[in-house]
Chains A and B, each alone.
Chain A
Amino acid sequence: MSLETNMLTYAQRSRIDKALRGCTIVATAIAIVPLVLIIAYVLIIGGGALNRDFFTQTYRPPVPVGVDPITGLPVEGMEEGDLFQVQARGGVLHGIVGTLMVTITALLFSLPIGVLAGIFLAEYPDTPLNTFIRFCSDVLSGAPSIVIGVVGFTLIVKQMGTYSGIAGAIALTFLMVPTIARTTEEILKLVPNAVREAAMAMGAPMWYSTLTVVVPTALTGIVTGALLAFARGAGETAPLLLTIQGNSNLSFNMFAPMAALPILTYKYIESPFPAENQLAWGTAFVLMMLVLGINLLVRATTARIKR
């Protein structure tokens, strides 16, 4: 005797179960396709664009294939169509230098803020302010990067009167601080309390035990956070567009416009010359290797810490 006549039989329920479970598998497969494609395209096209010039030269304006770059006259033995094919030579050394300089400067700015704030959040957990500080760091990491770019633009570029690497570094600081603060906090919380108690039992004041016992125990984790922040900063484009503007020449001057890899990717793909589009893929390749490499490295070390 069944209580309800409209109840599904077990066979029907089993079919629904299979169908919907199948749906989740299909969804996963559908989502993985474009993601695999993106990585594959960058690896294949971008990897093909790499050569020695790519890493050792800066931007050079594209020239027609069949033209001598110095005299501007057609080269002997060229074919008719060659005049219309344009070849860009040169590489992205200026972008690599710019990205490294701006991101490392930003890391130097954000490390003290992030690490000390992380120590505060982890070591003084009872402060009523902590929830609010955590929320603020979430807001910063969730804020659209273009808004941070606008802040860098009005706060620094407008005041200094010029785009500059230092403005880019300050803008990136806004985005890197929350990552460092949160990872530092998380990792310090993993340090067993027995360690702190042991240090205190030896008569060490709290600051001494924190700096010489707790932080060194968690140092790998803090370095991890710094690396993750570096990866995030190196990949940001929008704030840099408004602060360092980009530069076609190799420049080490932090107070003048600089180039950066993500900006070059953006500029080269908008370019009408296929040879420059090729450079865009190469730049994307370097950028992706940098970001994914750091992430995998971090993952490997954190897996070791947790064990």
Chain B
Amino acid sequence: MAEVKAVPRITASSRWARRTRHGDVFFWLLTLLFALMIIGLVVAVGIVTYNGSAGVRAEYGWSFLWGTDWNPIETELYPVSFGAWPAIRGTLLSSLIALILAAPTGVAIGIFLSELCPLRLRQPLGVMVELLAAIPSVIYGLWGVAVFANWFNDWVANPIANTVGQYVPWLAGPVAVSRGLAITGTILAIMILPTVSAITRDVLQAVPSHQREAMFSLGATRWEVIWGAVVPYARAGIVGGIMLGLGRALGETMAATMLIGNSTRIEQSLFAPATTAAALIASELPNAQIPLHESSLIGLALALFGITLILNLIARYLVWQTSRGPAGEKV
């Protein structure tokens, strides 16, 4: 007589275990929950800055962005008014200076590191570039205030203001002592160099080597290979790297606060004190007395967040598209 195999009893708990795939569903839900928390953090930043700036949006609307008067303290002559243009102008100009200085240099460094550098040097130089990106910004600011400012005044700002500045109003003196847009832009350039060059190097290294070999086989020199076959291939990624650097420069707070002079008056000269959005928030938000003042500063933060979000979106897309390689390519 054939023995009947014992069938495992179907209990409530075994059914439950099977239905949840022995706990996998819970694990999936748990990790999903924490992954969604990342989205939640971004949404929280958006909502808090949006709600916090409700006052200024009701009061000024879009004209907040190009209002030229920033006057948080009521006096007899000047009523309280909040216009973000001095801060926005300072942010844009200092970042523009940083970009003009850092983009060509950073791309050149990236090309050197990826294409021309002797193999022995590549590793240490690459590590150095990445370490520099990790140095806290307050240290760049400290060096800028204590060391670089004097040098910049003596060797760059004053000579330019005394020669070219006599004819070009935006380079004119008087040079503010170690404070101003130009010096802030220069320090920002030093800060974003590692970002630009590291990303340029990474996207150039992702260019397939047959791209180079094909050009070499036509008898091109090394520079022609780089400029004609490698850089165009990685162009989008390089632009993306520059945009990420720009994003860093726009939002940089400490170095700007320490070097820009925190003046909300609009002066024509690049050597005069100015302010940036981030510096204005850092220096005034803790002391804001009236709700509208606080709300305006939060409005600035919202604008800053919006700009960097869009920049990041475009930049990440460009970098991702380049390092992914051409469509349909199989390795």
Binding site for B on A (CB under 8 A): 13-14, 16-17, 20-21, 23-25, 27-28, 30-32, 34-35, 37-39, 41-42, 112-113, 116-117, 119-121, 123-124, 127, 129, 132-133, 135-140, 142-151, 153-155, 174, 177-178, 181, 205-208, 210, 231-232, 234-238, 241-242, 245, 262, 265-266, 269-270, 277, 280-281, 284, 287-288, 291-292, 295-296, 299
CA distance A14 to B145 in the complex (A): 44
CA distance A162 to B255 in the complex (A): 26
**Which residues does chain A contribute within 8 Å of B100, judged by CB atoms?**
none
Q: A120-B31, A207-B26 are in contact. Are A237 and B305 (CB under 8 A)?
A: no
Which of B2-10, B59-67, B277-285 makes up part of the contact surface? B277-285
Determine if B134 and A147 form an interchain contact, defined as CB atoms under 8 angstroms apart: no
B245-270 contacts to A (CB < 8 Å) = 247-248, 250-254, 257-258
Min Cβ gap A11→B in Å is 11
**Which residues does chain A contribute within 8 Å of B112, judged by CB atoms?**
24-25, 27-28
**Which residues does chain B contribute within 8 Å of A154, judged by CB atoms?**
48-49, 52, 298
B59-104 contacts to A (CB < 8 Å) = 104
Determine if B285 and A150 form an interchain contact, defined as CB atoms under 8 angstroms apart: yes
Cβ of B272 within 8 Å of any chain A Cβ, yes or no, is no
Determine if A147 and B142 form an interchain contact, defined as CB atoms under 8 angstroms apart: no
Determine if B38 and A140 form an interchain contact, defined as CB atoms under 8 angstroms apart: yes
CA distance A148 to B36 in the complex (A): 19
Determine if B142 and A138 form an interchain contact, defined as CB atoms under 8 angstroms apart: no
Q: 18 A-B contacts, Cβ less than 8 Å apart?
A: A16-B223, A25-B116, A35-B190, A42-B143, A117-B38, A119-B31, A121-B35, A123-B31, A135-B313, A140-B41, A147-B308, A206-B21, A208-B23, A210-B27, A235-B138, A238-B278, A241-B282, A265-B142
Determine if A288 and B45 form an interchain contact, defined as CB atoms under 8 angstroms apart: no
**Which residues does chain B contribute within 8 Å of A13, judged by CB atoms?**
221, 224
Determine if B281 and A206 form an interchain contact, defined as CB atoms under 8 angstroms apart: no
CA distance A34 to B197 in the complex (A): 15
Min Cβ gap A153→B in Å is 6
Min Cβ gap A136→B in Å is 5
Determine if A144 and B108 form an interchain contact, defined as CB atoms under 8 angstroms apart: no
**Which residues does chain B contribute within 8 Å of A178, judged by CB atoms?**
38
Determine if A38 and B131 form an interchain contact, defined as CB atoms under 8 angstroms apart: no
Determine if A137 and B38 form an interchain contact, defined as CB atoms under 8 angstroms apart: yes
**Which residues does chain A contribute within 8 Å of B183, judged by CB atoms?**
none
**Which residues does chain A contribute within 8 Å of B193, judged by CB atoms?**
31, 35
**Which residues does chain B contribute within 8 Å of A123, judged by CB atoms?**
31
CA distance A234 to B139 in the complex (A): 12
B301-315 contacts to A (CB < 8 Å) = 301, 304-305, 308-309, 311-313
Determine if B27 and A177 form an interchain contact, defined as CB atoms under 8 angstroms apart: no
Cβ of B39 within 8 Å of any chain A Cβ, yes or no, is yes
Known: A144-B278, A235-B135, A280-B142; 6 extra A-B contacts, CB below 8 A, are: A24-B108, A140-B38, A144-B250, A144-B304, A150-B49, A288-B139
B115-151 contacts to A (CB < 8 Å) = 116, 125, 127-128, 130-132, 134-143, 145-148
Residue ID in chain A nearest B144 by CB atoms: A38
Cβ of B158 within 8 Å of any chain A Cβ, yes or no, is no
Residue ID in chain B nearest A116 by CB atoms: B34
**Which residues does chain B contribute within 8 Å of A234, judged by CB atoms?**
136
Of the residues A16, A124, A207, A287, contact of B136 by C-beta under 8 Å: A287
CA distance A98 to B273 in the complex (A): 33
B31-58 contacts to A (CB < 8 Å) = 31-39, 41-42, 44-45, 48-49, 52
**Which residues does chain A contribute within 8 Å of B109, judged by CB atoms?**
24, 27-28, 31
Determine if A281 and B221 form an interchain contact, defined as CB atoms under 8 angstroms apart: no
Determine if A292 and B111 form an interchain contact, defined as CB atoms under 8 angstroms apart: no
Q: A133-B35, A146-B301, A280-B142 are in contact. Are A174 and B41 (CB under 8 A)?
A: yes
Residue ID in chain A nearest B42 by CB atoms: A136
Cβ of B213 within 8 Å of any chain A Cβ, yes or no, is no
- What string of 1s and 0s marks CB contacts (under 8 Å) between B226-252 and chain A? 010000000000000000100110111
Min Cβ gap A168→B in Å is 13
Min Cβ gap A117→B in Å is 4
CA distance A280 to B28 in the complex (A): 48
Q: A150-B281, A269-B146 are in contact. Are A205 and B22 (CB under 8 A)?
A: yes
CA distance A158 to B67 in the complex (A): 27
Of the residues B26, B135, B227, B286, contact of A291 by C-beta under 8 Å: B135
Determine if B38 and A181 form an interchain contact, defined as CB atoms under 8 angstroms apart: yes
Determine if B147 and A41 form an interchain contact, defined as CB atoms under 8 angstroms apart: yes
The 7 closest A-B pairs by CB, nearest first: A144-B251, A235-B136, A207-B27, A27-B108, A116-B34, A120-B31, A238-B253
**Which residues does chain B contribute within 8 Å of A262, judged by CB atoms?**
136, 138, 254
Determine if B143 and A21 form an interchain contact, defined as CB atoms under 8 angstroms apart: no
Cβ of B24 within 8 Å of any chain A Cβ, yes or no, is yes
CA distance A236 to B139 in the complex (A): 11
Min Cβ gap B99→A in Å is 15
CA distance A245 to B287 in the complex (A): 11
Determine if A146 and B49 form an interchain contact, defined as CB atoms under 8 angstroms apart: no
CA distance A98 to B282 in the complex (A): 20
Cβ of B156 within 8 Å of any chain A Cβ, yes or no, is no
Residue ID in chain A nearest B301 by CB atoms: A150
**Which residues does chain B contribute within 8 Å of A284, judged by CB atoms?**
138-139, 142
CA distance A288 to B27 in the complex (A): 40
Cβ of B105 within 8 Å of any chain A Cβ, yes or no, is yes
Determine if A147 and B135 form an interchain contact, defined as CB atoms under 8 angstroms apart: no
**Which residues does chain B contribute within 8 Å of A146, judged by CB atoms?**
251, 253, 278, 281-282, 301, 304
Min Cβ gap A98→B in Å is 15
**Which residues does chain A contribute within 8 Å of B30, judged by CB atoms?**
116
Determine if B309 and A139 form an interchain contact, defined as CB atoms under 8 angstroms apart: yes
Determine if A242 and B282 form an interchain contact, defined as CB atoms under 8 angstroms apart: yes
Determine if A116 and B31 form an interchain contact, defined as CB atoms under 8 angstroms apart: yes
